[in-house]
């Protein structure tokens, strides 16, 4: 059992390094990846098959390639390891048997996967077909997929029907991502329709948790969707500016640093 766990851990570490490398270079030969990872071409091909099945990367003949820039999987590839660490840390905020809402986003998808691996009898309410597909093979997670207008690039549903569905539900926790942040406007995003739907989703939860990389605290973003007074906890990495960390804590917000 110990040897099996060690193999799985090495594979996860290799996958994270592989995704980060391809995200920096766009298109990389298998030979180059094998040299970078200090492993065989056969192992790299197996890794690429696994990552391709999950939609994180595409495999072409002799190459690993990023997905379409408009696809959620493309965004997931950037800072993959960091997002995965944030997702892992966020699972501490969830107990076995809980029902929660997870919105459509790259870090949120990784968070759903970590929950499915670590927790028992979890029910996830989501507007993300991507998340539903991402965790469909885990036996200990139940998915409630909301209806609505389908956004292809996000693989998510939005709009009046989605808002009507979520208004019928009430949970303790919702987990969301963000595109940007400012002290005056709180957390921001770029897609107006998605954010309008997300506001209604947040109204159906008592506590809102934000999962985001620290670099988002340096981007003002376009449209405000979450005021700081409505944030319960933020899970981010140690790159967050110290002055923002102090400011957020002064607002009574819990901040978990990975």
Whole-angstrom distance, CA of residue 112 vs CA of residue 129: 12
CA 161 to chain centre: 24
The whole domain housing 129 covers: 81-257
Both 114 and 18 in a single domain? no
Name which of 112, 127, 22, 15 is nearest 65 in CA terms: 22
Quick: pLDDT tens for 142-180.
Answer: 999 999 999 887 789 999 999 999 998 999 999 999 989
**Beta-carbon-side half-sphere exposure of residue 71 (alpha carbons within 13 Å):** 11
Whole-angstrom distance, CA of residue 12 vs CA of residue 240: 26
Quick: pLDDT tens for 208-250.
Answer: 999 999 999 988 888 899 999 999 999 999 999 999 999 999 9
Whole-angstrom distance, CA of residue 62 vs CA of residue 64: 7
Please report the pLDDT score of residue 162 as a whole number: 96
Both 96 and 203 in a single domain? yes
Whole-angstrom distance, CA of residue 228 vs CA of residue 247: 11
Both 16 and 138 in a single domain? no
Both 248 and 194 in a single domain? yes
Within-domain flag for 73: no
Please report the pLDDT score of residue 3 as a whole number: 60
What is the domain-level CATH number for residue 42?
1.10.10.10
Both 125 and 183 in a single domain? yes
Residues forming a β-bridge with 150: 157
Average pLDDT over residues 47-72: 77
Both 157 and 207 in a single domain? yes
Within-domain flag for 75: no
Judged by DSSP in three states, 139 sits in coil
Question: Domain total for the chain?
Answer: 2
Please report the pLDDT score of residue 2 as a whole number: 53
Please report the pLDDT score of residue 6 as a whole number: 64
How big is the chain, counted in residues?
258
What is the domain-level CATH number for residue 168?
3.40.50.1360
Please calculate the CA angle 150-155-156 and round it to the nearest 5 degrees.
55
Quick: pLDDT tens for 178-201.
Answer: 989 999 999 998 888 889 999 999
């Amino acid at each position: 059992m110990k040897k099996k766990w060690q193999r799985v851990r090495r594979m996860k570490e290799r996958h994270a390094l592989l995704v980060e490398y391809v995200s920096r270079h766009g298109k990389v030969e298998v030979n180059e990846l094998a040299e970078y990872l200090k492993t065989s071409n056969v192992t790299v091909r197996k890794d690429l098959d696994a990552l391709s099945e999950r939609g994180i990367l595409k495999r072409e003949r002799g190459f690993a390639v990023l997905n379409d820039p408009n696809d959620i999987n493309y965004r997931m590839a950037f800072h993959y390891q960091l997002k995965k660490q944030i997702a892992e840390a966020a699972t501490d905020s969830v107990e076995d048997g809980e029902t929660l809402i997870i919105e459509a986003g790259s870090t949120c998808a990784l968070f759903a996967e970590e929950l499915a691996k670590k927790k028992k009898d979890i029910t996830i309410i989501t507007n993300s077909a991507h998340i539903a597909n991402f965790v469909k093979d885990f036996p200990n997670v139940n998915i409630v997929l909301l209806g609505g207008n389908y956004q292809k690039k996000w693989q998510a549903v939005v709009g009046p029907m989605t808002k009507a569905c979520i208004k019928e539900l009430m949970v303790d926790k919702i987990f969301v991502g963000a595109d940007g942040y400012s002290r005056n406007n709180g957390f921001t995003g770029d897609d107006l329709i998605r954010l309008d739907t997300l506001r209604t989703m947040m109204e159906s939860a008592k506590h809102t948790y934000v999962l985001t990389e620290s670099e988002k605290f340096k981007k003002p973003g376009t449209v405000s969707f979450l005021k700081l007074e409505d944030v319960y906890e933020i899970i981010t990495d140690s790159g967050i500016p110290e002055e923002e960390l102090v400011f957020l804590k002064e607002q009574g917000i819990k901040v978990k640093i990975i």
